Amino acid sequence: MAATEVLPMEHATPRLKINRIGLWLFFLSETMLFAGVLTTRFSLLGTEVHEEVSQTIGLVITAILLASSYTAFRAEHAAHHGDQAEMVKYLSLTLLLGFVFVAGVAYEWIEAFDAFPPSTEFGTVFFTMTGIHAFHVLTGLIFLGLLWNNARRGRYADNAWPVEAGVKYWHFVDVVWVFFYPALYLI
Amino acid sequence: MTIVRGAIGGVAGYILGAALLMSIRAAAGSRAWEVESVTAGAWLFALTGWLLGVGVWRYWARPWFGKKEQVYTTTGWRRYFDFDTDHKVIGIQYLVSFLALFFMAGLFAMVMRYELMGVGEDVLDADQYNSLMSLHGTMMVFVAVAATVGAFGNYVVPIMIGADDMAYPKLNALSFWLVPPVLVALTASFFSGGYDTGWTGYAPLSVQSDVGGLFFNLAFFTLGLSSIVGALNIIVTVVTMRAQGMTWFRLPIFVWSIFITSILSLIFTQFIGLAMLMVVLDRTAGTIFFDPASGGEPLLYQHVFWFYSHPAVYIMILPAFGITLEIVSHFTRKPLFAYKWAVGGLLGIMGMSSVVWAHHMFTSGMAEALRKPFLASTEMISIPTGFIFLSALGTLWMGKIRYTVPMLFALGVLFNFLIGGITGVFLADVPVDIQLQDTYFVVAHFHYVILGGGIFGLFAAIYYWFPKMTGRMMNDRLGKLHFWWMMIGFNATFLPMFSLGLQGMNRRIADYTPDLADANRAVSMGGFFLGTSFVVFLYNFLKSWARGPVAPSNPWGARTLEWQIPSPPPHENFEVPPVVLADPYGYGEPDSIHADLGVTQSESIEEGVEA
Amino acid sequence: MGEEDRNNSSKRLLVVGLIWLVATVLAVIAVAAIQWHPFAASREAEITDDAFDLLLLFAAPVFTFVLVVGGYTLVRDRDRGTGADGAPIRTNRLFIGTWVVITTALSVLIVITPGFTGLDELRAEPEPDLIIDVRAERWNWAYTYAESGVETQGTLMLPIDRRILFRISSTDVIHSFWIPAFRIKKDAVPGQITTTMVTAEVLGSFDNQDEMRVQCAELCGVGHARMFTGVTVVEQAEFDAWLAAAGG
Ligand code: HEA
Ligand code: HEA
Ligand code: CUA
Ligand SMILES: [Cu+2]
């Protein structure tokens, strides 16, 4: 019999690595959804964009979302360095920016309802794309909110993974918007 | 209790979601209550409530709120009704749920065949027939997509790779507990008038169908969520939890098949979610994806649907291929022939499955220029599929074949799938498909591959792993009786359907031209014969589970890891983490040892072989 | 592998090869003897039926190969209670190589013929002599003869030996325009006009041939099964007379 010199099973692959792989696979799966939505958009509309979409709102909310990615990054950075106060601060900022983004989308929706309602071609695409994306932003906000709440109580002092996961997800949702924004406002 | 708590959570979630949506609707100036719009939106809330109720809150989410996690404490049979995170419990939960769904859908088929015995509409009117047919197809597709992966992907894959559980045990429980809502949606659909669109739910018909159609969309959507979550878990498990020494090319072929199936699920299931979502939006939110009058495109639905549903047919068949090769090797007492080619075949099928979807649309009115490329890619998929047969034939050749019940079913898979696969090649040929599309030739083709391949594979797996899962043996004679009964019944039912299709009988009709009456009566007779074969199975299955003779740890003398531990396996699977030394197929090679399980367990290996 | 084994295995191969040959010949004869196709009445039907027959011919050796090799070993290599293991053959370059080359070649061949060649034949002769607009609605077919503007419902009247172009549309959901005797089928998609062509080559009608019907071949609701009308093919002169009488 060969010598049995083994590590306990849990340590065959470190837990953190397992979690990271899972998260990236989840992104891969979600990417397919967003790719499908984008393809649908071009299939229905070609490269047409409705002239009544508000370029100002589009630009502003995009800038806000990108800024929130930066603050989220700072929060994660702080988490990895065990800087609780920084982390809480930047999580709050991210949450704030996230809410402003959602408010921007909501405002845009109210406007859009008259300009191009869902029963028009562009409306169908516009409401579906912003809706699916906003749904992801909202779930992201829920997670960031939980993180913020727990971070305030110092619960991530010795385990930064939840923060890392929440922030990575937030980045992912932002990257999706980087593709959606031109498809909805520019092309 | 779990289920009651879940139900309360689900109802509460529905009410909350409905209240929210109704107030938004009222604020926007539309009628507050409209069953479809409200239900579609509230479904997500109901799902969340259900999941929190069954255990996500108690066992999982509490730490998010700074509370201590409550691990499950139930024991005995109650575990199977609980949010249990043991992969072995979850495997059995999947198996039993989907077997029940299978029998239900089979009973629907019996009613359909009864209706189709004669010309005219006898017991069902056209509408009832369409609903029953649609439900039969949908439920069977759910069984084929989820039963084998859910039951055996969960139960045996972690053991086969030498792990103590899945990578994410709680996520695993979550993926199972998404199944009951699927069953609820199907039941709701049945009782709200069903839907008359077939399992493919083509728009714009599906946009116009009754409320039952909405529940079909929600059911498919929810099953999709469950598949994605489950697939992710299996992929991570196989990538990260393999025992020391378990290299990629030492993996049992069944693990490969489940792994590749899971990759397909993870990537493509999103598209069925998207297809269902677009239909739901068209139905409830006034969007116009599929309404040509306002610029929508009906064919868009078909592209998105088949972009998932073609890969899905490989999700249905790859696990059966894995089981077949696994069983053929162990019961010919020979190494799996051309192992790497078999793996390559599975990978090749995976790679090609995303580029053939439009072979379902040759007559759909899509651009004619697309026909040739899809014809070519579809025919090419025969090549990697052939490698499975190459491996199986090579393994059988000069073996010492043992005709056990699992082996019989595995051979059944090979025979039936050969017919199904070759007739698929006929359908991929556009000139032929123009005539045969939407006829019983297609119905025969897919019953040969899904039922003859996938479901025969499922039964092979049940007979093979039953002793491991329950600790009891199934009756061999009854098993053999079931096999021959089912095999003959199956071929008697579906072989004549090829000819019916060639003679011009189209699908999805409750009534047909009189010249087809004789053949249809014969098919129905075959169908009833086939249906009754499952009585033998059920009797054997239930009786053996309750009172069968106690199974030794390795009744088949097989070499993969799950047979080296007691039946049923202890909670942690292995006392000591196993060390893998070679692939599990070293039959006839005197020095070959698959794995070292530490002292205590290697004793039980020897016991098992003798038993 | 000892000398004896090797002889043994080449003998096996010879036997299997012979059985396979015989089985293939028998299968081909059987395939040729069976009447696979229903009543055929168009140029397109010949192309389609020929393609099917050719595929049967290709399928026969593949089918018999798997059955004969599998069947032979299943009978010969049963374990007779010895409990022994089989020979540890993990690979065989010749067998694998041959398999890969032949299945690949066969697949490519099938793509070319009857695949591409059949499609090209179907698409040849694109100039129509007669254009008919087909409108599908739940659960009816309506036909407009484009030149004369005559609109009819019920039986579809067609002249023999003329190239006919159908322009198909739908007013509600998806239907499919299928004439089994002609082996043509094309979906009627709302918001889109799809086309298909046919040359009828045999006189006949629904009264004596069930396949002479326009059958809806895409599930379209309750009336789907009953959404069919007869097809009648007549001589050109008779067709002209009918068209004139119908108001052309
Ligand atoms: C388990 C599920 C499963 C599997 C594995 C397959 C496998 C295949 N299917 Fe099938 N198919 C379905 C399930 C499946 N199908 C379903 C459910 C439908 C109907 C959907 C609906 O409309 O409701 C359908 C419909 C369907 C159509 C559309 C018919 C129509 O509606 O007009 C087509 C057309 O191309 C097709 C082709 C094929 C081909 C070429 C394969 C190939 O993968 C088969 C390859 C296998 C072999 C060829 C045999 C083994 C190979 C060898 C021994 C090597 C040597 C062989 C050669 C060189 C030829 N299938
Ligand atoms: C896994 C896939 C699967 C399986 C196993 C089956 C099994 C069967 N199918 Fe089905 N079928 C489909 C998938 C499947 N089918 C799909 C996808 C469609 C297309 C739908 C569409 O067009 O949209 C279809 C369509 C379909 C049609 C065409 C309908 C039409 O187009 O109008 C027919 C017609 O005969 C048919 C028949 C049968 C029969 C007789 C069985 C038999 O094998 C059933 C055997 C019987 C049983 C399994 C019942 C046994 C039960 C008992 C013995 C009692 C036990 C009792 C309790 C537990 C209470 N099926
Ligand atoms: Cu019209 Cu079916
Ligand atoms: Cu397909």
Q: What is the pLDDT of residue B199?
A: 96
Residue A7 and residue B596: Cβ atoms within 8 Å? no
Q: What is the pLDDT of residue B598?
A: 74
The DSSP-derived string for B449-512 is IIIIIIIHHHHHHHHHHHHHHHSBPPPHHHHHHHHHHHHHHHHHHHHHHHHHHHTTPBSS-S--
What is the pairing mode between strands C184-188 and C130-137? unpaired
Q: If you measure from the C-alpha of residue B531 to the centroid of ligand 2, how many angstroms do you get, rounded to a whole number?
A: 9
Within an 8 Å CB–CB cutoff, is residue B557 touching chain A?
no
Query: Chains meeting B at 3+ CB pairs closer than 8 A?
Result: A, C
Beta bridge pairs of residue C167: C133, C195
DSSP state of A155: T
Residue C218 beta carbon below 6 angstroms from any ligand 3 atom? yes
Q: If you measure from the C-alpha of residue B137 to the centroid of ligand 2, how many angstroms do you get, rounded to a whole number?
A: 7
Q: What is the pLDDT of residue B605?
A: 47
Q: Do chains A and C touch (3 or more CB pairs under 8 A)?
A: no
Contact predicate C48/B435, CB 8 Å: yes
Q: Is the confidence at residue C12, as pLDDT, over 50?
A: yes
Alpha helices in B28-151 (DSSP H): 35-51, 87-115, 126-148
pLDDT, mean over chain B: 93
Q: Which of B127, B290, B370, B400 to mutate to test the interface with C (most CBs of C within 10 A)?
A: B400
Q: What is the pLDDT of residue B243?
A: 92
Mean pLDDT of B517-524: 94
Contacts of B556 (CB under 8 A, 6+ apart): B330, B331, B404, B406, B464, B563
**Chain A residues touching residue B289 (CB < 8 angstroms):** 40, 44, 124
Q: What is the pLDDT of residue B602?
A: 47
Contact predicate B282/B291, CB 8 Å: yes
* Model confidence pLDDT, tens digit, residues C153-172: 989 999 999 999 999 999 99
**Chain A residues touching residue B307 (CB < 8 angstroms):** 36
Instruction: Kindly indicate the confidence band of residue B132, based on its pLDDT and cuts at 50, 70 and 90.
Output: very high
Edge-first strand order for the sheet with C194-199 is C150-153, C140-145, C130-137, C163-170, C194-199
Q: Is B366 left (phi over 0), alpha (psi -120 to 50) or beta?
A: beta
- Report how far apart, in Å, the C-alpha atoms of B448 and of each of B493, B494, B496 are: 10, 7, 12
Tokens of B52: 């929190």
Q: Is the confidence at residue B217, as pLDDT, over 80?
A: yes
* Model confidence pLDDT, tens digit, residues B288-328: 999 999 889 999 999 999 999 999 999 999 999 999 999 99
Q: Is the confidence at residue B80, as pLDDT, over 70?
A: yes
The whole model's pTM is what? Answer: 0.95
Q: If you measure from the C-alpha of residue B296 to the centroid of ligand 3, how many angstroms do you get, rounded to a whole number?
A: 21
Mean pLDDT of B459-477: 97
Q: What is the pLDDT of residue B496?
A: 96
Within an 8 Å CB–CB cutoff, is residue A114 touching chain B?
no
Smallest CA-to-CA distance from B81 within B170, B4, B165, B195 is with B4
**Chain B residues touching residue C218 (CB < 8 angstroms):** 202, 438
In CATH terms, is domain C130-246 a member of 2.60.40.420?
A: yes
ipTM for the complex? 0.95
Q: What is the pLDDT of residue B44?
A: 94
**Chain C residues touching residue B415 (CB < 8 angstroms):** 67
Instruction: List all residues of chain A from 4 to 33 with a beta carbon under 8 Å from chain B.
Output: 4, 6-9, 12-13, 17-18, 21-22, 25-26, 28-30, 32-33
Mean pLDDT of C36-57: 95
Which range, of B190-194, B399-403, B451-455, C161-165, averages the lowest pLDDT?
Answer: B190-194
Q: Which of C224, C226, C228 to mutate to test the interface with B (most CBs of B within 10 A)?
A: C224
Contact predicate B346/B257, CB 8 Å: yes
* Model confidence pLDDT, tens digit, residues B364-383: 999 999 999 999 999 999 99
- Looking at chain C, the whole-number percentage of residues with pLDDT higher than 70 is 97
Within an 8 Å CB–CB cutoff, is residue C194 touching chain B?
yes
Q: Is the confidence at residue C2, as pLDDT, over 60?
A: no
Atom of ligand 1 nearest to the CA of B356: 35
- Tens-binned pLDDT, residue by residue, of chain A (187 aa): 333 444 444 446 788 999 999 999 999 999 999 999 999 999 998 887 788 888 888 999 999 999 999 999 999 999 999 888 999 999 999 999 999 999 999 999 988 888 888 999 999 999 999 999 999 999 999 999 999 999 998 888 888 899 999 999 999 999 999 999 999 988 7
Say how far apart CA A66 and CA B579 lie, in whole Å: 48
**Percent composition of chain C: helix, strand, coil (DSSP 3-state, to 5):** 45, 25, 30
Contact predicate B88/B469, CB 8 Å: yes
Residue B429 and residue C110: Cβ atoms within 8 Å? yes
In CATH terms, is domain A52-186 a member of 3.40.190.290?
A: no
Instruction: List all residues of chain C from 62 to 101 with a beta carbon under 8 Å from chain B.
Output: 62-63, 66-67, 69-70, 73-74, 77-79, 82, 84-92, 95-96, 99-100
Residue C45 beta carbon below 6 angstroms from any ligand 3 atom? no
- Looking at chain B, the whole-number percentage of residues with pLDDT higher than 90 is 83
Say how far apart CA C61 and CA B193 lie, in whole Å: 49
Contact predicate A183/A41, CB 8 Å: yes
Q: Which of B132, B133, B530 to mutate to test the pocket of ligand 2 (most atoms within 8 A of CB)?
A: B133
Instruction: Kindly indicate the confidence band of residue C82, based on its pLDDT and cuts at 50, 70 and 90.
Output: confident
Looking at all shown ligands, the one closest to residue B510's CA atom is 2
Contact predicate B138/B220, CB 8 Å: yes
Contacts of B391 (CB under 8 A, 6+ apart): B325, B336, B337, B338, B339, B341, B342, B345
Tokens of C78: 């049963």
Residue B384 beta carbon below 6 angstroms from any ligand 1 atom? no
Residue B449 beta carbon below 6 angstroms from any ligand 1 atom? yes
* Model confidence pLDDT, tens digit, residues B27-77: 888 888 888 889 999 999 999 999 999 989 988 888 888 888 777 677 888
Instruction: Kindly indicate the confidence band of residue C1, based on its pLDDT and cuts at 50, 70 and 90.
Output: very low
Residue B232 and residue A2: Cβ atoms within 8 Å? no
Residue A43 and residue B300: Cβ atoms within 8 Å? yes
Tokens of B8: 């309360």
**Chain B residues touching residue A30 (CB < 8 angstroms):** 270
Residues spanned by CATH 2.60.40.420 within chain C?
130-246
Domains of chain B: 1-84 (no CATH), 85-547 (1.20.210.10), 561-610 (no CATH)
Domain ranges of chain A: 52-186
Q: Is the confidence at residue C91, as pLDDT, over 80?
A: yes
Nearest CA to ligand 3 atom 1: C175
More confident residue, B194 or B527: B527
